[in-house]
Structure 1
Amino acid sequence: MIRIAEIKDSSDIAALSIQVWLDTYAKKGIRKSISQYVLNEFTEKNIQSKLTSKNDVYFVAIEKGHLIGYVSLKLSAKCPITANTIPELDKLYIQENFTANGVGSVLLQQALSFCNSIGHEQVWLTVFHENTRALKFYEKHGFQEVGVTYFELDNEKHKNHVLCKSTAA
């Protein structure tokens, strides 16, 4: 079941975020800057703040009462390449056990349809350059690379591809 996230989902979203982020980006292990980032970024309070913001929308995938994935949108975000202020597909996180079974595609389609329904013609996102699975997923769904940006953590720059897609069906 896919639905709009509610405040009661905030702790589950925070926990899933930490799990997926660490599985995706902490390939060499955990160090202080990584620990501090995830423990400061993915808190129940931060998620609650986003869930009550008019600029953020979350859709959650629930299976048998458990959160298995979510997609989050920032409805008004400036693309670092085009400088257009359009929705950013901020996160599409699926618990590893549920990847490759269509949940990500359904959440992505929900996000695109939602943006289209409120009058947005395009969305953008960033993907870590070493995340080949995500890059292939977005390419399969019609996203096109428009440039490169960098995620900074502990004075280190990490290359990210910037991708855009029309919200039209």
Structure 2
Amino acid sequence: MGQLIAPNLRAAEVADASSLTALALEVWFATYVRHGINAHFADYALSHFTPERFRQWIDDPDRSLIVSQNRDGIDGFVLMDRNSPDPVNGTVQTELTSLYIQPRHQGRGLGQALLEAGLAAQDGPVWLAMNSQNSTARAFYHAHNFTKLGEIAFKIGDQSYPNDVFVHA
């Protein structure tokens, strides 16, 4: 494990949109694309993670986007959506949409700090969906008192990927 650092957390600003886009693309490809980048995954990621979409999320009063800022720039973020019922039974309204840390900054406490900040800003339980094969994320969320609520299929185009849904009460 790397050296534990005290992150500087703050609310995202519209000016952060391009940095957040680049970070999201870096983390998403590093996490989910294991055998080479093809158009299927590239098209999805490039259409989903855009500066315009991040600007919309930052401006949305139902969402909170908190970033970790080091001396050179943003190295992680957590995105929460308070108007997103869970896909299993629809009773948990707040989704932890994304918790992304640049790979080279993982293992130093940023994920925990961002998770705690995201959870502290919510009233009530929070749910998230994660790829069923992501054992690192599974261990992280279990260690932070998330429990499995159910399973869903995450779709990209005409392909489906098993996801586990977890809840933190």
Question: What's the TM-score bracket when you normalise by the shorter of the two chains?
Answer: over 0.9
Partner secondary structure for residue 108 of structure 2: coil
What's the counterpart of residue 30 of structure 2? 23
CA distance in 1, matches of 2:94, 2:13: 20
The residue identity in structure 2 corresponding to 1:24 is T
The reply to whether residue 51 of structure 1 matches residue 54 of structure 2 is no
Percent identical among aligned pairs is 28
8 Å CA contact retained: 2:92, 2:127: no
What's the counterpart of residue 3 of structure 2? none
Out of 148, 153, 163, which is 1:150 matched to?
A: 153
8 Å CA contact retained: 2:151, 2:164: yes
CA distance in 1, matches of 2:43, 2:28: 13
Q: Which deviations, in whole Å up to 9, do the C-alpha atoms of 1:10-50 show, x marking residues without a partner?
A: 10000000000000111111111111111111111111011
Out of 136, 141, 158, which is 2:139 matched to?
A: 136
- Name the structure with the higher strand share: 1
CA distance in 1, matches of 2:128, 2:160: 17
1:5-84 matches, within 5 Å, as 5-84=12-91
8 Å CA contact retained: 1:76, 1:85: no
1:155: Cα distance to partner? Answer: 1.1
Partner secondary structure for residue 84 of structure 2: strand
* Unpaired stretches in structure 1, ≥5 consecutive residues: none
Partner secondary structure for residue 82 of structure 2: strand
Query: How many residues end up aligned between the 2 structures?
Result: 162
Greater relative contact order (Cα < 8 A, sep 6+): 2
What's the counterpart of residue 104 of structure 2? 97
What's the counterpart of residue 94 of structure 2? 87
The residue identity in structure 2 corresponding to 1:72 is L
Q: Which deviations, in whole Å up to 9, do the C-alpha atoms of 1:22-80 show, x marking residues without a partner?
A: 00111111111111111111111111011111121100001113110000011110101
Partner secondary structure for residue 54 of structure 1: coil
TM-score (norm 2): 0.93
1:85: Cα distance to partner? Answer: 4.8
1:82: Cα distance to partner? Answer: 2.3
RMSD, aligned α-carbons? 0.9
The residue identity in structure 2 corresponding to 1:154 is G
CA distance in 1, matches of 2:93, 2:157: 28
